């Protein structure tokens, strides 16, 4: 079998080699594409620059520590200056091993091959990719001298944490240029690229240290360093840091901007392009500072956006981009808890409920599907054991009221409204959906709330405003027109007013309003909803000018003990965001009336029911009776 497989591979390689040679002569000089991508804020100020493959500080060859160059050559490609792109002896050995194992586990890539892969290809281990790599390797060797190829390679090696190139890695891991590195530090840097995630000295120091020792042994054996240098290097105590090249959030912004630009222009290469984003630098600083002040040991995802246009004005994708490039504001899907309830209650208001609609809050077991039961509970098992209004139930986040409402409407109807609001993640039609068992991204929930904040117009969050190519041509500009009206403006206004209730202590009784802990710190008339599960804490709120969504928790879904950070981050961010914005109230459309209502009975307030709340109704649906003494 091995002979047949070897014969098949040999014929494939011969045909591929002929194709490769033909391609090599037909194609011109390959572009090295080493121009950076420039990222700007909404005022046209430069936020930072990245190279097409990540963050990099480009260094010409004579600026790089010669000992680092020598060590790299010894570990990666000892015959680099002798071969023409391929080390045939190493390739032969690796090929026989791969045939024996029937896979591509064994590699023998030269520096030119690795550079070709870094520039043009993915890292998947397939014969097709290997063939394409060979084509590019031949072309690079044909058109560029060895020093140019070595310089390019040293500036494109991946070192983990979004870091590319030896100078960038030296600054990031050790806070110094390559020319200041010790032998021990050089060996550590040379060790990382083999498996950059597994050998990161920040995440896996013991493993990285072992690889460093292996490199030092090779350097001693090949006489790159002597015995004394080896002994000193093995004893040196390495001080590994994580010195960011940019603000800790810039990488998240750059990644999303480039991904969005790629989708817009349907291309992957943006070297030399200028991407102008919607980031408001003042809001970005405010959101970042709020996170740093309140996050403690949690992770975080947060967005600030203009609800009218969807323009993202600030984003936090995690505590530190250099520790984790995973964007928790966009990529993470987390259980949203009670932040889903505004979608439920918008649907209810659309189908006959009013702010004064009453249902009984008491321990309840719900039967559904003629066979299943569900027994939700309120926070701390606290119930009114009486009727409560929708206004109060929403303000204190009563779960019994929510489940009763959804069962009246049907989960399918609530899901339909969720889709209308831009939610694309799976939504299961079960009773618990009303309590937020769906897992959504911060971006999705901010998009949904933006529909409420802007009066019911279609909106999608976006980051890229316009793009200028490497020739100075404006190749894209965002359309800023208000989206079509997709929600009922009267119902939307009423919901907005209801969502201000979480900050109104007059609505506290058997449960406290969920925003009571921060209500005294707020200077604006905000609408919002918090949500808490065992592993997630949310706060999403807005004014007509700004919407802010914050999630906090742990990546590994550990049980959450700090449930206050999300609200505090939101409070500081939205207050700072309004320092440069007007503080307008939600404008009532025609056909809305207001009345003071008893939050327990849903009747007009009187001297018999001293607690009251101003509630809004579509004209003709407001209560007509006053509450009586027996209530």
The DSSP output letter for 477 is E
In 3D, which of 457, 478, 461 has the Cα closest to residue 424? 461
Q: Kindly name the residue from 49, 70, 76, 182 that is annotated as catalytic.
A: 76
What is the Cα Rg of the chain in Å? Answer: 30
- DSSP string for 282-310: HHHHHHHHHHHHH-TT-EEEEEEE-TTT-
Place of tokens 């802007």: 454
Residue 419 corresponds to which tokens in the numbers above? Answer: 């889709």
Residue 625 corresponds to which tokens in the numbers above? Answer: 């009776």
Place of tokens 């709020």: 290
Pairing outcome for strands 274-277 and 37-40: parallel
Per the annotation, the verdict on 260 as an active-site residue is: no
Q: Kindly name the residue from 109, 324, 338, 605 that is annotated as catalytic.
A: 338
Helix (H, G, I), strand (E, B) or coil at 469: coil
Per the annotation, the verdict on 182 as an active-site residue is: no
Return all residues near 278 (Cβ < 8 A) that are at least 6 apart.
42, 306, 311, 312, 313, 462, 463, 464, 465
Return all residues near 26 (Cβ < 8 A) that are at least 6 apart.
none
Cα 222 to Cα 452: distance, rounded to the nearest angstrom: 68
The DSSP output letter for 560 is P
Contact (Cβ atoms closer than 8 angstroms) between residue 258 and residue 268: no
Return all residues near 13 (Cβ < 8 A) that are at least 6 apart.
none
The DSSP output letter for 480 is -
In 3D, which of 154, 572, 539 has the Cα closest to residue 552? 539
Cα 551 to Cα 566: distance, rounded to the nearest angstrom: 6
Query: Which helix (H) or strand (E) segment is 536 a member of?
Result: strand 536-542
In 3D, which of 422, 451, 425 has the Cα closest to residue 436? 425
Give 229: exposed, middle or buried? Use CB within 10 Å, 0-12, 13-18, 19+: middle
Q: What CA–CA distances, in Å, run from 128 to 111, 124, 141, 514?
A: 19, 10, 20, 57
Instruction: Give CA angle at 464 (447, 287), nearest 5°.
Output: 60
Q: What CA–CA distances, in Å, run from 104 to 4, 76, 126?
A: 17, 18, 7
Cα 323 to Cα 333: distance, rounded to the nearest angstrom: 20
Would you please indicate which residues are annotated as catalytic (active-site) residues? 76, 338
């Amino acid at each position: 079998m091995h002979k047949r497989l070897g014969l098949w591979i040999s014929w494939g390689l011969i045909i591929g080699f002929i194709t490769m040679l033909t391609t090599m002569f037909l194609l011109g000089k390959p572009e090295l594409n080493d121009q950076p991508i420039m990222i700007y804020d909404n005022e046209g100020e430069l936020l930072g620059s990245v190279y097409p493959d990540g963050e990099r500080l480009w260094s010409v060859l004579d600026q790089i520590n010669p000992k680092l160059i020598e060590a790299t050559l010894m570990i990666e490609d000892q015959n680099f200056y002798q071969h023409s792109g391929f080390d045939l002896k190493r390739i032969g050995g690796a090929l026989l091993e791969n045939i024996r194992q029937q896979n591509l586990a064994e590699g023998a890539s030269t520096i030119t091959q690795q550079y070709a892969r870094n520039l043009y290809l993915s890292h998947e281990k397939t014969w097709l990719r290997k063939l394409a790599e060979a084509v590019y390797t031949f072309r690079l060797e044909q058109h560029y001298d060895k020093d140019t190829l070595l310089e390019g390679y040293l500036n494109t090696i991946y070192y983990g944490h979004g870091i590319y190139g030896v100078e960038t890695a030296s600054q990031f891991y050790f806070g110094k240029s390559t020319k200041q590195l010790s032998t021990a530090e050089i060996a550590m840097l040379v060790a990382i690229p083999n498996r950059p995630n597994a050998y990161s000295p920040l995440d896996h120091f013991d493993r990285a240290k072992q690889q460093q020792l292996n490199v030092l042994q090779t350097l001693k054996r090949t006489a790159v360093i002597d015995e004394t240098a080896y002994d000193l290097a093995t004893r040196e105590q390495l001080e590994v840091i994580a010195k960011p090249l940019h603000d800790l959030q810039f990488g998240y912004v750059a990644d999303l901007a480039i991904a969005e630009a790629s989708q817009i222009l349907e291309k992957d290469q943006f070297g030399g392009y200028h991407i102008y984003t919607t980031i408001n630098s003042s809001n970005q600083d405010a959101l970042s500072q709020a996170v740093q002040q309140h996050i403690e040991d949690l992770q975080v995802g947060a967005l600030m956006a203009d609800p009218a246009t969807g323009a993202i004005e600030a984003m936090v994708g995690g505590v530190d981009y250099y520790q984790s490039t995973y964007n928790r504001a966009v990529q993470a899907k987390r259980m949203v808890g009670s932040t889903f309830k505004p979608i439920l209650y918008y649907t209810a208001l659309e189908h006959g409920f009013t702010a004064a609609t009453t249902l009984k809050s008491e321990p309840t077991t719900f039967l559904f599907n003629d066979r299943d039961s569900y027994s939700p509970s309120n926070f701390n098992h606290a119930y009114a054991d009486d009727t409560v209004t929708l206004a109060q139930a929403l303000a204190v986040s009563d779960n019994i009221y929510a489940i009763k409402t959804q069962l009246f409407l049907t989960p399918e109807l609530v899901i339909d409204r969720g889709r209308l609001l831009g939610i694309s993640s799976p939504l299961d039609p079960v009773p618990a959906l009303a309590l937020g068992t769906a897992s959504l991204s911060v971006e999705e929930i901010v998009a949904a709330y933006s529909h409420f904040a802007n009066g019911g117009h279609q909106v999608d969050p976006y980051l890229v405003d316009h793009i200028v190519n490497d020739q100075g041509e404006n190749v894209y500009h965002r359309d800023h027109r208000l989206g079509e009206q997709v929600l009922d403006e009267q119902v939307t206004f009423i919901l907005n007013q209801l969502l201000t209730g979480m900050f109104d202590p007059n609505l506290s009784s058997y449960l406290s309003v969920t925003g009571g802990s921060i209500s005294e710190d707020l200077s604006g008339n905000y609408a919002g909803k918090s949500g808490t599960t065992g592993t997630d804490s949310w706060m999403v709120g807005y004014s007509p000018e700004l919407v802010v969504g914050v999630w906090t928790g742990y990546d590994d879904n550990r049980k959450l003990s700090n449930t206050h950070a999300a609200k505090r981050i939101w409070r500081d961010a939205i207050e700072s965001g309004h320092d440069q914005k007007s503080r307008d109230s939600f404008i009532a459309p025609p056909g809305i009336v207001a009345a003071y209502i008893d939050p327990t009975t849903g009747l007009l307030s009187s001297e018999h029911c001293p607690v009251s709340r101003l509630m809004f109704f579509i004209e003709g649906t407001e209560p007509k009776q006053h509450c009586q003494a027996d209530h």
